[in-house]
Each structure stands twice: as structure tokens, then as C-alpha cells.
Amino acid sequence: MPSMRLLLAVLAFAAPAAAEGGRPGGVFDFAAAGRGAAMGGAFVALADDASSLHFNPAGLGRLQGQHLSLLHATLFEGASLDHLAYARQGRFGGLGAQFLRLSVGGIPGRDEFNNPTGGFDYQEQAVTLGYGTPRFLDGRLSVGGSAKVLQRALGGFSNRLIGIDVGTQYEGRWRERRTRLGLVARNLGALKMGDTDDRLPLDVRVGAGFEVLRGLTLGANVSSNLEFEFGTEYALGPGALRVGLQDGRPTFGGGVRFLKRWSLDMALSNHSVLGMTNLVSLGWRFGAERAEAKVRATYKDLAASADRALDAKRYRAAAELYERATRSTLADGDAQRARDLARYGRLRALLAELKLDLTPEGEKTLELDAESADTALKGVKALMEGEERKALLLAQAAYGADSGIGVYKALMDAVARLTFQKPRPDELFPVKTLVQAKLGKAHEAFLATRYDEASEHCREALMLEPESALAHERLGSLYFAMGLRAKAMAEWREAMRLDPGNSALKDFMRRILEGKP
């Protein structure tokens, strides 16, 4: 067989993306997808399609439906790289297979006296099979593994190298943004077959991915031999722009989705010695509709369970159940998910202020079948919906109904801090009493012709008791005094609906409609 020195020289020639020219298995250093390549290979935490077989097999557990990927790369001096990968989500996890081929033709041969002996070809071919499953920590942790066989052929000689990859991915949320962490160990238990002393080198990589803004994602990897990879992607509509840095070399690229299921991605990388590498990959996702329907059903079931726990005043359980729901792969752009995410984000912020895990007595008090606990629940729900003034009024009313219990004071203060409001010391009453106080203040302000202040008190009374006929009547009178006749009539009609026996209001409305004083 030609000397190993020649073999390593060929590998160095043909593998510009390798951090160490000529190391065994350098073909695996090429990013096997246009998206990952353009992001500098910083994909250990982000991989979730067929390219997971290359970056991190744990990503197979996050695949939805099926994914087919085809790739071609033009390398230095006519060398080429071809890649085919297929993965699908099964009942218990994702399965995948990939085929990789690196070929270099027309290499001139020389004997020991440096005389020409004719040309020969060099080729590397690899087959990988992998599996990943997300069935750990309620779907937050995915684990996976793959086995690969690399065959190298130079002239009339060949050998095989075998390696095992194992990896994990963890998905959570940090500051309400999707965050992923990844770890992959490549070439564990490496074996060889044939006339070679080479083995695939052990390589451990840690990665992270973070959604900075909607559509803007950052990724980073660091390897056990301190190779650094960084990448960023900005997706807008069907298109995406990507830049990265791989071991000090810049990478660029972009992609576009078309015909709903297809994607085309390109990447460029410029090596300081071996020049420009360009890569094009074509992806096809199919069969995801059924998987998406299952995910949506799972999400809705968990979200409904969270809402039921909320109705039962089990606030921490509700937050935990919704946290499980968010671990599904339902798109962040989904309207229901976006709404629920905001609602339960506010609940988590409130729970962080209340520290119910440290005060089990307070948690039990909030679950009681009592007026104060029921009012507190309404206040919590108002806060979750972003109705900040209503939330504080109800928290005040809950404390006013049972001022001797500290958890209601803590709830009122927590809502005040989160909404940047101050509770009114003269309004710490149960709901019905507070409504009467608000309507009394409205009447006083009306007599003083402070109509805006009076109408605000009426609206706050309706936040506490939407079915208050008197509040609607007085608000209508305020609107009438302000010259807002249409609004006044609407409020009076609602007051009549709630209190049909109000003959005085009925007669007054009739006189107004007839134009009588």
C-alpha cells in the first residue's frame, strides 16, 4: 500500500474543513447540511432533522415527520463531497441513516524514485445509522446514538474505520426564550479493519443555542481540543440569512423554503490555504401533518390540564403542567401557544414573587373554598391576561376580605410590584364593599363635575362586578353629561337588561328618546 504519509497528504488536500489536516475521519468534519455549514457548524444543540446524524444523534428525537436531505459540495481542485440522509419519527423516537462520499480523482502516482506511475483515485465512503428519543425529563431531554462505518480506498488498497457517537440535547426556556444545550461524544470505542493503524479520534463537543428574538437564533460549540464554532441565523418569512465562524474561518450562507415542504440552503467557507468551498443542500420534509396533529393534541391536552389546575387554585401545579406543554414542538408562532406562553409567563413571575414553595401554609390557604381565595383567583387570572388594574383591584379585595392572613397581603404586594402600581389603603374591602366605595367616589366626582375621574371609578367598579346594574347606570349618566349620547344609551340598556324593574331609568330613557326634557 502507498505510504501513510501519502494518504495523509491526500486527506489534507481533500479536507479543507478539517481542523487538523489529515486526521482519520476528516470527511466527518464537513457540515452535512447547508444550514449548519453556514452557521459555522455550531449545531450540536440545534440539530433536529436528518443532519442530526452528523451533528448530534440526540436531535433525531426532536424530528417531526420525515426528512430527506441531499447535499453536494465542490471542494478544492475538483474534489467533491456528496451526502444523502433520511430520518423519520417513530412511535418511541427518531430513526435515521446517512451516506457520505468524498472523492478525489486524478492523483498522480510516484514510485520510490519519484518516477510517474500513472494516476489513481482516492475515495472515502461512510454509512451511519442512528436513533434518538426525547422520552426523558418530560420531553426536555433527548438522548441518541449512532454507529458509523468509514471505508477508505486509495488505488487498489482499502480499510475500514468504525465509530460510535452518543449525544444529548436539553431544551428549556430562559427569560421566556427557547434555549437548547447539547453534548456529543464522537467515536467512542473506535475500531479498525484492514491494513491500517488509524482509528477515528475521540471528539467531545458541547453546544448551546438561544433564540435571541423571534427569528434570530445564535449557536455556539466548543470541542475537547478547544476548537470554537459560532453561528447566527436570521429567518424572515420563507428566507434566512446565516453567518458563522468555524475555528477562525468565516462562513456565510442562506436558505429559502418553497412549495411548503422543500428547502434549499447554501454555504460558503474560505480556507486560508485551500481556498473556497461551496456547498448546496436540498431538503424535503413530509409526513409531518400527522405528527403535528399529535403534537397539537398533546399540547392542547396539557394546556387544558394546566387551566383545570388553575381553576382549582393549584397555581404551582398549573405552571408545571404548562411547562410540560411548552416542551412540545408546536411552533412558537401558533396563536394559541403564543397567548398561553404570555399568560403562564406572568403566572411564573407571580409565583416567583410569592415563593409559595417556601410557604406551604399560604399555598393551602389560596386553595380554600372561600370568598377571599375565589377573589384571589380572579385577580391571578386578570394578571395572566394582562389586565393589570383589574388584577390589583381584585388582589386588594382578596386582602380586604381576609386581612388577617398574610398570603393575601403578599399577593396584593406582588401584583403591585409586577404591575408598577400602588394599592390604595382606603380601598382594602371585600368585592361588594369595594364596589360600593367606588360608586360612592364616582358620585362625589360627578357632583364636582370631575367626569373623567368619576367614569374611571365606575369602570373599576365594573372590573370587580361586571353585572352591577348601578355601575352601568351611573356610567351611562356620566357619558350623557359628557355629551357621549350613544355610549350613554348603550350603558343604560345594559343596566336595564340587568335590572328590568328599574322603572325610573326606563322612563328617563323614553323621555330622552322622545326629545323631552
Q: Of 385, 407, 427, which residue is a domain's last?
A: 427
**47 and 179 part of one domain:** yes
**75 and 223 part of one domain:** yes
Angle between helices 451-464 and 431-447 (to 10 degrees): 170
Tell me the three cell numbers of residue 491: 350603558
Number of domains into which the chain is organized: 3
Residues 195, 160 contacting (CB under 8 angstroms): no
| HSE of 500, CA atoms in CB hemisphere, 13 A | 1
Q: Of 238, 269, 285, which residue is a domain's last?
A: 285
pLDDT score at 121: 73
Round to whole Å and give the CA distance between 30 and 302: 40
**403 and 475 part of one domain:** no
- For residue 178, the Cα-to-chain-centroid distance in whole angstroms is 3
The answer for residues whose C-beta is within 8 angstroms of residue 419's C-beta and 6 or more apart is: 383, 388, 389, 391, 392
| HSE of 393, CA atoms in CB hemisphere, 13 A | 22
**182 and 296 part of one domain:** no
Please tell me whether the overall predicted TM-score, pTM, comes out greater than 0.75 for this model.
no
Q: Which residue has cell 458563522? A: 244
**266 and 372 part of one domain:** no
**312 and 202 part of one domain:** no
pLDDT tens digit at each of 517 positions of the chain: 333 433 444 444 444 333 344 567 777 877 778 899 999 999 999 999 999 999 999 999 988 889 999 998 877 666 788 999 999 988 778 999 999 998 876 666 555 556 666 556 778 899 999 999 987 876 789 999 999 999 988 767 888 999 999 999 998 877 667 799 999 999 998 888 887 888 899 999 999 999 888 889 999 999 988 999 999 999 988 999 999 998 888 999 999 999 888 999 999 887 655 567 788 999 998 876 666 677 778 888 889 999 999 999 999 999 999 988 876 666 656 778 878 888 999 999 999 999 988 888 999 999 999 999 999 999 999 999 999 999 999 999 999 998 889 999 999 999 999 999 999 999 999 999 999 999 999 999 999 999 999 999 999 999 999 999 999 999 999 999 999 999 999 999 999 999 999 999 999 898 888 776 5
Tell me the three cell numbers of residue 190: 473506535
Q: Of 239, 268, 285, which residue is a domain's last?
A: 285
- For residue 16, the Cα-to-chain-centroid distance in whole angstroms is 34
**125 and 213 part of one domain:** yes
**202 and 322 part of one domain:** no
- Collapsed DSSP state (helix, strand, coil) of residue 440: helix
For 164, list phi and psi in degrees, rounded to 5. Answer: -120, 130
Tell me the three cell numbers of residue 330: 408546536
**167 and 247 part of one domain:** yes
Domain span at 50: 4-285
Residues 35, 254 contacting (CB under 8 angstroms): no
Round to whole Å and give the CA distance between 167 and 184: 4
Cα dihedral across residues 328, 331, 337, 341: positive or negative: positive
Round to whole Å and give the CA distance between 207 and 449: 65
Round to whole Å and give the CA distance between 458 and 55: 61
**99 and 125 part of one domain:** yes
**318 and 412 part of one domain:** yes
Report DSSP state, residue 175. T
Considering only the C-alpha atoms of the chain, give the largest distance between any 2 of them, rounded to a whole number of Å: 122
Q: What is the CATH number of the domain that holds 60?
A: 2.40.160.40
**138 and 227 part of one domain:** yes
Tell me the three cell numbers of residue 160: 475500514
